[in-house]
Amino acid sequence: MKTTAKPTTKTTKIAKTTKIAKTTTQIAQHAQTRLKSFTRLKSFRRSSTGKPLYLFHGNFGSMEVPLDRWVKAQIRRNVRDGSGKTRYDSAFHVFEDTTALDAWRRSLTHPKWLATVKVRHTRPKIQSRYRVTLAHYLYLSSAAWQSAQCIQPLRD
């Protein structure tokens, strides 16, 4: 008599209060997607010399974004978002598409530079006002930075 094994369940803690159960199949699929790279949109500041800078926090002590190489995010545990209410593990904030970007542009006070980047090991940011993805790895090519667009704040 054959018995079929039920998939085991592993619980992952995502923000201190939220638990999500994942089957072993979902965990395996997630491990494979961590290695894939995705094209996303990321906003930067531009230095007086024309180099890309991170918006708010530096990465490993530097505000300058290196070009043409993969950069690993300095993951800070249990940080607060801009509202001061939600806690999460930090990473590079990227937008999946321009519809998510339009809502964010309404909150801008100064122009920013928008470039297409490649990212790896992504996860959604829980409880964000805007549809933002967090990425552990970021690649900004020189060509993408040269073609970056200046985005102005949207006013009603």
Question: Domain spans of the chain?
Answer: 12-151
Query: In terms of C-beta density within 10 A (0-12 exposed, 13-18 middle, 19 or more buried), how is residue 65 classed?
Result: buried
pLDDT range class, residue 117, cuts 50, 70, 90: very high
pLDDT range class, residue 11, cuts 50, 70, 90: very low
* Mean pLDDT for the stretch of residues 36-52: 93
In three-state secondary structure terms, 82 is: coil
Percent of the chain with pLDDT over 90: 39
Catalogue the E-assigned strands of the chain.
9-13, 19-23, 37-46, 52-53, 70-72, 79-80, 87-88, 92-95, 112-124, 132-139, 149-151
Query: Please, what is the Cα angle at 74 between 96 and 113, to 5 degrees?
Result: 45
* Mean pLDDT for the stretch of residues 101-109: 83
Average pLDDT, the chain: 80
- On whether the CB atoms of residues 126 and 88 are closer than 8 A, the answer is yes
Beta bridge partners of 132: 95
Q: What is the pLDDT of residues 122-145, one digit of tens each?
A: 988 877 777 888 999 999 999 999
Q: How much is the pLDDT for 94?
A: 93
Which distant-in-sequence residues (6+ apart) come within 8 Å of 21 by Cβ? 9, 10, 11, 12
Q: What is the pLDDT of residues 66-75, one digit of tens each?
A: 999 999 999 8
Q: How much is the pLDDT for 140?
A: 97
- On whether the CB atoms of residues 117 and 138 are closer than 8 A, the answer is yes
